[in-house]
Every structure is written in structure tokens, then in C-alpha cells.
Chain A
Amino acid sequence: MALVNIDKVHKYYGDLHVLKGVDLKIQAGEVVSIIGRSGSGKSTLLRCMNGLEAYQEGAIILDNKEVSSDERQVRALARSVGMVFQSFNLFPHLTVGENVMLAPKLVLKQSAEDARKMALDKLTKVGLAEKFDQYPDKLSGGQQQRVAIARALAMSPKVLLCDEITSALDPELVGEVLKVLEELAAEGMTLVLVTHEMNFARDVGDRVVFMHQGKVWETGPSAEVFANPSTPELRSFINAVL
């Protein structure tokens, strides 16, 4: 069974039908890029995958657990799925190290020592171990986003969801964040990336999912999809962004 099974998922915001029967399977170790126009439902799909949003029809099974927005379910899911946001969302009153250690201590009940080791390990991975005792507002946007990645990784998730995590960054800082993602991909981490970085999607992603009008409109191996889009919608999208 795939790590993530999304089966005919429908999502409404009031009367607004946002996801109109999304089907998607993601295997462990896959790097999937979700692309599509603004408003096509990319963020909504990601947020349904970890219970931040409820969906009304269909099913999402992630790591053999059915995803629902029930409070307890979301908490149980935190062990399987991590998320990184466009706006970093670091906790400003906690140091970098405390940001990373908070959930392992509170949720996984790790000892202070274990949590510290884990945090140092993950911060080393994103190249920021020396910022352990700094507060987030002393860091650049790229550094903050790398801390956010480390914070998510400290929960040892099976899949990491990233929603346009480079969109809020100055162009010269995008590279350092993408590099971290590239390394994670190389290590076999399952990544689901909503992204506008088409080059990254093509070069690092295994597979591209093109969302259009609340559906998975087209999907396939990255190189193929970019070279040979089969739907006119994807063709015009690619022409517009590349």
C-alpha cells in the first residue's frame, strides 16, 4: 500500500467546491511536486492531508491511518506527517533549539537530553547547529525556513509537506532552502512540495502533479510531464510559468 492514499476527496468551503474528487497515491520515498494555478486547491489538498482542514467526501489514508481533522487524530498524525509553511511560523519567544525540541519533548515525551541530541542532529542537517541558542528574529528568512524544516524533521515524520516554502524568501535565499530539500530527497525522504520552482520540480522531483479546477488534472514523471504535457491546460500553464 502506498504511503499516502487519497481517494476521491471532495472539500467544500461553505458553498465553494474546492477539491472535486482528488485521487492521488504517493509511495514512500517519492518526491512529488504539486503545481497549478492560484486557487486550484494545492494548499487545500496539502492541508487536508494532515488534518488542518476537514474534507467532506472520500478518504485520505496516510501511513495506514485515516486522516480526519479530529483533534486527537491530528495529534496522532503528527508522528507521520510534518509540514513546513510559506511563512516559517517559528515560535518567536523560543530559541532555535527550543523551537526544534518543543514537540519532541511535549509530544514524544523525549528526555531533555534526547531532544537536545535530536535537535542538534536536525539542525546540523540544515546547516544551522551553531544557531542553537539564537532567537528566530536574528536569522535570515532562509535560515528561519531551514529551522522550520529541522523542527518538522525532529518528529521523524514519514512524509514532509511543504507549501511554497520558498515563496516568501528573497531570491538569493531560495537556493539554500532548495538545497536542504534536495539533500532530503537524496536521503529517501518522502516529500510533497507545492511549488512555483519549476526547475526544481523538474530536476529534483520524481513526479509532478498538476492540479486544475480542484482535480488532479495530469500527473507523471517530472521530465516527461514538462517535456510532453498531454493536456492543453498544463501546456498553457507551463508556457506561462517557464
Chain B
Amino acid sequence: MLNFSDLLPYTDQLLKGLWVTVELTVYATLGGVAIGTAGAAGRHYGGNLLRGMIGMYVELIRNTPFIVQLFFIFFGLPALGIKLSAWEAGLIAMLINLGAYSTEIIRAGLAATPKGQVEAAKVLGLSPQQAFFRVVLIPAFEKIYPALTSQCIIVMLGSAVVSQISVMDLTYAANLIQSRNFRSFEVYLVVAAMYLVLAILMRQAFDALGRYLFRHRRSS
């Protein structure tokens, strides 16, 4: 017999967990895309040393499990005297993870920008920074926007793992509730639905932002 009313007493916990997940996701998305933009710029325009270092960072993150990265930051770094709260460690792990993946994604966008547009900016007298932010960036994002959107959603869903270091996120709340009321089926069904709604809302937010940023598209 299914019984969802047994969840009602835990509404508060669920909402708090939801909020933690949302908060982590917002910070990680903003910060991760910023890191990715900087990383992609460094990899595209930088010297050999910088390019190599960014390449190593990207490969290191893309070829190791997220949960190991998280454990390393939370359990490993204290050995170096770096002590972080669970929440901080969770956020940093998400930032570093999304930063690496988005570096790779955004770099593809930069590479696809026609060289002529950069030259046009240059002969008009724009500085390299002005050319990057005013001329290159938006068309570059336009080309990789769907991939970037998906990656950010993947990181949101992957954030469930931070419950493993006791960040009180949505999954942590689910684990806690089912250990109290033994309604695993109901709890995880509800929580899965909440992640699903989050993912849909996130996609819609990205789409709305994309319609604004790439409004030149609508004209065609």
C-alpha cells in the first residue's frame, strides 16, 4: 500500500533540502560557466604553459569520478591544512567539475568563431579584451548553448552525491526521511519528481536567457 501522507511531517526537511540543492546549483552554474569561459579563453589564446596547465586540469577532472573529486576535497584536503565545511566542499567540487567540462565546451565555441570577425574587430581598434567580450563571446556561446545547458543540468543532478559528505541537500533529506518512516518508495519517487521539475525549470531558464542573448536569431 502506498502512503504519501507519511511524508507530510517531513515537508520542511524536503523543502530545506530542495533549497540547498537549488542554492548549490545556482552558484555552481554561475561560477562554473565563468571558470569555463576563462579556461576556454586561456586555452584558446594563451601561451603554451597556460594551455598545458588548463589542459591538464580539464583532463584530470574529466577522467576521474565526481564522487572521488568530492571526497578528495572534503576528506583529503584537511591533510594539507585546508578544512572546509561540507557545503563549501560540495560547492567547490561542483565548481571545479563544471569548470572543466564547460572549458572544453566553450572552447569549441571559440574555435568556431570566424577568424575574420576577430580581424574586423582588431582593425576597428578594439582591444583583445573588447573583441573577446563584445564580438566573440555571444556567437561562441550561441554555437554551444545546448551542450552547455545539458552540462549544467548534469551537474545539478550530480549534486545528489554531495549528500555523501552530509551536505543537507535534497537527496540527504530523502535518505533521512526514508530511514525514519521506511517509506523508501514514496520518498524517492517524490524526490525524483522534484529533481525532474528542477531540471525542466532549469532548461526553461536557460532557454529564456538564450532567447534574450541570441535575439538576433529570432529575426531570421
Contacts and interface: CB of A to CB of B under 8 A. Distances in A.
Interface of A: 50, 52, 71, 74-79, 81-83, 85, 87, 89-95, 102-103, 106-108, 134-135, 137-138, 148, 151-152, 155
A26 to B, nearest CB: 17
B216 interface: yes
B119 A107 contact: no
Sorting the interface of chain B by its residue count into under 10, 10 to 19, 20 to 34 or 35 or more gives 20 to 34
B124 interface: yes
B126 interface: yes
A89 B120 contact: yes
Contacts of B139: 91-93
24 contacts: A52-B122, A52-B123, A71-B128, A74-B122, A74-B123, A76-B125, A78-B124, A79-B125, A85-B116, A85-B119, A87-B114, A89-B114, A89-B117, A89-B120, A91-B121, A91-B135, A92-B139, A93-B139, A95-B216, A103-B126, A106-B134, A107-B126, A135-B216, A135-B220
B108 interface: no
A152 B124 CA distance: 7
A83 B216 contact: no
Contacts, number: 78
Nearest to A107: B125
A51 to B, nearest CB: 8
Contacts of A76: 125
B130 interface: yes
B72 interface: no
B179 interface: no
B116 A89 contact: yes
B5 interface: no
Contacts of B114: 87, 89
Interface string B135-151: 10011001000000000
Given A89-B120, A102-B126, 15 more contacts: A50-B123, A52-B123, A74-B125, A78-B123, A78-B125, A82-B124, A85-B119, A91-B139, A93-B138, A93-B142, A93-B216, A103-B124, A138-B219, A148-B120, A155-B124
B64 interface: no
Interface of B is mostly: helix
A31 B134 CA distance: 33
A138 B220 contact: yes
Contacts of A135: 216, 219-220
B214 interface: yes
Ranked 8 nearest A-B pairs via Cβ: A78-B125, A103-B124, A107-B125, A89-B120, A89-B116, A135-B216, A93-B138, A83-B123
B220 A137 contact: yes
B201 to A, nearest CB: 26
A148 B123 CA distance: 12
A143 to B, nearest CB: 14
B127 interface: yes
A164 B117 CA distance: 16
A93 B123 contact: no
Interface centre among B120, B124, B130, B142 (most CB of A within 10 A): B124
Contact of A155 (B125, B130, B219): B125
Nearest to A72: B127
B122 A102 contact: no
A137 B127 contact: no
B138 to A, nearest CB: 4
B116 A87 contact: yes
A94 B116 contact: no
A148 B119 CA distance: 13
A50 B124 CA distance: 10
Contacts of B123: 50, 52, 74, 78, 81-83
A141 to B, nearest CB: 14
A85 B121 CA distance: 12
Nearest to B130: A106
B115 to A, nearest CB: 9
A109 to B, nearest CB: 11
Interface in B104-122: 114, 116-117, 119-122
A77 B130 CA distance: 16
Contact of B119 (A89, A103, A134, A138): A89
A214 B119 CA distance: 23
